[in-house]
Amino acid sequence: MASFPFVLQAHQGNHQVELVYNGQQLEFDGLSLDEPKQSSSCLPCGPSSAFAGGHRIIKTVEILNIDIEHEDSLVLSVASAKNGPTKESVLERLVFQVRDKANAVQWQSNVLSHVYKDIKKGRHFKVLVNPFGGQGHAKKLWETIAEPIFKAAGCTYDLTYTTHRYHAKEIARDLNIRLFDAVVSVSGDGVLHEVINGLMERPDAIAAHKLPIGAIPGGSGNALSYSLLGEDHGSHVTNAVLGIIKGRAMPVDLCSVTQGQNRYFSFVLQSFGLVADVDLGTEDMRWMGEARFTVAAVGKLLSQQTYPCEISYIPVETNVDKIRAEYNYRRQQSVVWADQTHDELDQSHPTIVDRFGGVNAQLNKSDGWVTDSEDVITAVGAKLPWISKGMLLNPASTPNDGLIDLIVFPKGTGRMNGIQIMLGTETGEHIYHDKVRYMKVKAFRLTPKNESGFISMDGEHTPYSPYQVEAHPGLISVLSIEGRYARSMRE
């Protein structure tokens, strides 16, 4: 293999340009101070400082494709952060003229083989778009932003617009998984919940759980996108698509929930009390848009409403400082991809095994169960740090620590503390509040002690009856460039 740097002499009009790829990034030297000939099919392009001094840098991860068109045009397709690191990346087509085609072909081959090292180039996706997701914007987001980037990267897809509730679940259940490199959803978390539950219902769930999932934010709650891309980029379609084209399969734990005779799979959260009420009990406030959640939560905190229940859990760590230290330690460790793991389902057993029994089993004392019987304001188990924009409820959540983050706001918090805690959820600082209990657990069981109310599994309404949650390590995989969620806790 040729050694770095890979250098190519090219032209833009009368300007000579040197394209230098060093394994980390592509640098253009000698660019015209005017922007090069390009087209952008995403966002309007603002003035770019990236061209200052005739020099521009494009990171390896931002390079989608390099084509040689006609005899002398080298076309670079990139999704770059040209408008600033917190702005949505932009699809660009940069065109250069080359005089020595053979040389250009060699350069193209050298660069692309490095850009797609360990990643299949030209993936084939099953794409699901919920035309009603996110107040009806998902279809437009697909057509105007996502689809052109997939095409520019040479990816192909089989597209379905979901036509009814549970359509995504039916598709995932019946999908010929060997045909696709991943299943991609342009939606909120509701459709992803259906996809995961559809995959897990299959007789070949053992194989199906290996099919990676790609999330493009197109709903009103995009918890997975926010968790993968962080607060700044969680709603940015281009960044999400880049992660799907250039990401690898990251193993992600999945919560299995037993309730009555049923089993659900939950990848975001299982909520009881205030958080469930705000999620499911505010349909009549939909006209307020996203503000409905804040208005409802403030109202409930001021009313000091509490919810009687019994919570049992198997604690692993209950000290927030130690949880943070472990979080930071884990971030120092090298990333493990799904194709490098041997999870429990690869072994001999054909179905999910509940290590701690289901909800109807007696709690086994030797497992270390602890039981609290007191009213709470809310109790939430979760596997994602962000549950929506501006709501970093479980900052220590990581994709694959095999544990559930359990957060409890006990009764008697008081109105002022309640508001302080709520404000803290924007940055995740609420977990340090002395009225909040935040812990890492292996499993938990919640038994409501009143007649009726709301329990939410990933935003889905489930019966108001006891449920037990256990995390199954690495049961699904999600396409990710970083191999971890965006940083959600301070160092």
The DSSP-derived string for 196-237 is HHHHHHSTTHHHHTTS-EEEEE-SS--HHHHHHHHHHHTT-H
> What are the counts of helices (DSSP H) followed by strands (DSSP E) for the chain?
13, 23
- Shortest CB 223 distance to ligand ATP, Å: 9
**Nearest in space to 133 (alpha carbons), one of 71, 188, 76:** 188
CA 387 to CA 258: how far, in whole Å?
22
CA 123 to CA 246: how far, in whole Å?
10
167 binds ligand ATP (CB under 6 A): yes
Q: Interior CA angle at 283 toward 270 and 271, to 5°? A: 10
- Shortest CB 213 distance to ligand ATP, Å: 13
334 binds ligand ATP (CB under 6 A): no
Nearer to ligand ATP, 152 or 275 (CB): 275
**What three-state secondary structure class fits 107?**
helix
**If you ran DSSP here, which 8-state letter would residue 13 be given?**
T
Q: What token pair was written down for 130?
A: 């919920």
Pick the binder of ligand ATP from 88, 92, 189, 277 (CB under 6 A).
Answer: 189
- Shortest CB 317 distance to ligand ATP, Å: 31
Phi, psi at residue 17, to the nearest 5°? Answer: -130, 135
Nearer to ligand ATP, 388 or 394 (CB): 388
**Nearest in space to 355 (alpha carbons), one of 466, 240, 473:** 473
306 binds ligand ATP (CB under 6 A): no
Nearer to ligand ATP, 132 or 313 (CB): 132
Residue holding tokens 């193993």?
251
- Shortest CB 458 distance to ligand ATP, Å: 8
Q: In this structure, are strands 182-187 and 213-217 parallel, antiparallel, or unpaired?
A: parallel
Return the range that interacts with ligand ATP (CB under 6 A); candidates 11-19, 214-222, 341-349, 397-405: 214-222
**β-bridge mates for residue 28, sequence order:** 19, 56
214 binds ligand ATP (CB under 6 A): no
Query: Which parts of 132-161 interact with ligand ATP (CB under 6 A)?
Result: 132-134
Return the range that interacts with ligand ATP (CB under 6 A); candidates 182-190, 257-265, 268-276, 321-329: 182-190
Residue least distant from ligand ATP (Cβ)? 188
Q: What torsion do the CA atoms of 275, 278, 283, 288 make, to the nearest 10 degrees?
A: -140
Pick the binder of ligand ATP from 148, 188, 198, 212 (CB under 6 A).
Answer: 188
Phi, psi at residue 36, to the nearest 5°? Answer: -65, 165
Produce one character per residue of 61-97: b if its CB has 16 or more CB atoms within 10 Å, e if not. Answer: bbbbbbeeeeeebbbbbbbbbbbeeebbbbbbbbbbb
217 binds ligand ATP (CB under 6 A): no
191 binds ligand ATP (CB under 6 A): yes
Nearer to ligand ATP, 130 or 462 (CB): 130
Nearer to ligand ATP, 59 or 461 (CB): 461
220 binds ligand ATP (CB under 6 A): yes
Pick the binder of ligand ATP from 198, 381, 459, 474 (CB under 6 A).
Answer: 459
- Shortest CB 296 distance to ligand ATP, Å: 15
Nearer to ligand ATP, 197 or 468 (CB): 197
Return the range that interacts with ligand ATP (CB under 6 A); candidates 151-159, 181-189, 233-241, 266-274: 181-189
- Shortest CB 452 distance to ligand ATP, Å: 22
The contact set with ligand ATP (CB under 6 A) reads 130-134, 162-167, 187-191, 194, 219-221, 459
